[in-house]
Amino acid sequence: MSEQLVPVSEIQSTDDNVPRWGMAIDLDRCTGCEACVVACHVENNIPVATEDEAAMGRSSHWIRIDRYYEGTFPDIKVKYRPVLCQQCDDAPCEPVCPVYATYQNAEGLNVQVYNRCVGTRYCANNCPYQVRVFNWFDPEWPEPLELQLNPDVSVRPGGVMEKCTFCVQRIQRGKLDAQAEDRKVGDGDIQPACVQGCPAEAMAFGDLTDPESKVSQWAGVGRSTQLLGELGTKPKVFYLEKSD
């Protein structure tokens, strides 16, 4: 894998009070259990594809586990890597959208505005991580599962592109709760569903411009790398490579 190309210490915000959200994932801790995938589906109203649809490549996940085998059986090592939107600072998906439905906001989130999207899929074609998913169908939940939809997140119609938002609804909730209690957002107050759901505590989320935050601490260690960082995408997800 590639070395870390943009050290976390160089990630800056436009304004001191504006955070820049990022994530660090410790591959030593990841067991590939997919609890993050399930948590993400539940939190973000992501439909579950049928077997037939999955066979056609129509399943949608905002986070997936990539699996690598090294060696030959029985001497193999298995390596798991959760892959989600890397919230690139230089995101290849953004400039190719002809209708400005995807852009970088002040907090470094790569935002997808569903009702602006007309479904050209250029963004997904240009994403080196293949983390954008297109809604080929209007989503559907077999009764009574529609009752478990999360009211804080919209249900996206067919014909639009969607992807990981770093659980922007939780980021906003965290900021508004802090505002209501007249305090600052503390490190760890905001957790995306995948981070919260990880039983191995392999993921850290927070403000990359705060050197004291857990995510900055993790992202600053020697094992820290960025996926396909050599492409110059400046990802804000850091992977702590497996130590042998």
Partner 1 sequence: MLAAPRPRLSSSRLLAVSLSVVAGGLLWGQQQPIEFPHDKHVAAGVDCIDCHSGADVRSAATIPSINKCMLCHERLANEGPGVKLLIEFWNRKREVPWQRVYRFERAANVKFRHAPHIRAKIECSACHGNVAAMTVAQKAVEHTMGTCVSCHRQTQASDDCAVCHF
Per CB under 8 A, residues contacting partner 1 are 50, 52, 103, 105-106, 109, 111, 113-116, 119, 135-138, 140, 151-159, 165, 168-169, 172, 176, 179-180
Kindly tell me which of 182 and 244 has the beta carbon lying closer to ligand HEC: 182
Is 99 one of the binding residues for ligand HEC (CB under 6 A)?
no
The rounded distance, in Å, linking the Cα atoms of 152 and 138 is 19
Quick check: helix, strand or coil at residue 230? helix
Residues 147-176 touching ligand HEC, rule: CB under 6 A, are 172, 175-176
**Strands, DSSP E only, in 95-139?**
102-104, 110-112, 133-134
Segment near ligand HEC (CB under 6 A), from 4-12, 16-24, 108-116, 220-228? 108-116
Chosen residue from 9, 31, 105, 115 binding ligand HEC by CB under 6 A = 115
The rounded distance, in Å, linking the Cα atoms of 69 and 101 is 38
Residues 176-215 touching ligand HEC, rule: CB under 6 A, are 176
Kindly tell me which of 112 and 226 has the beta carbon lying closer to partner 1: 112
State the amino acid at position 50 in one-letter form: T
Residues 116-145 touching ligand HEC, rule: CB under 6 A, are 116
Rg of the chain over CA atoms, in angstroms? 18
- Which of partner 1, ligand HEC, none sits in contact with 42, Cβ below 5 to 8 A by type? none
Question: Is residue 194 within 8 Å of 36, Cβ to Cβ?
Answer: yes
- Which of ligand HEC, partner 1, none sits in contact with 137, Cβ below 5 to 8 A by type? partner 1
C-alpha distances in Å from residue 224, one per residue of 6, 24, 171, 218, 220: 10, 8, 24, 8, 7
CA count, 13 A, side-chain hemisphere, 151? 1
Applying CB under 6 A, the site for ligand HEC has a residue count of 6
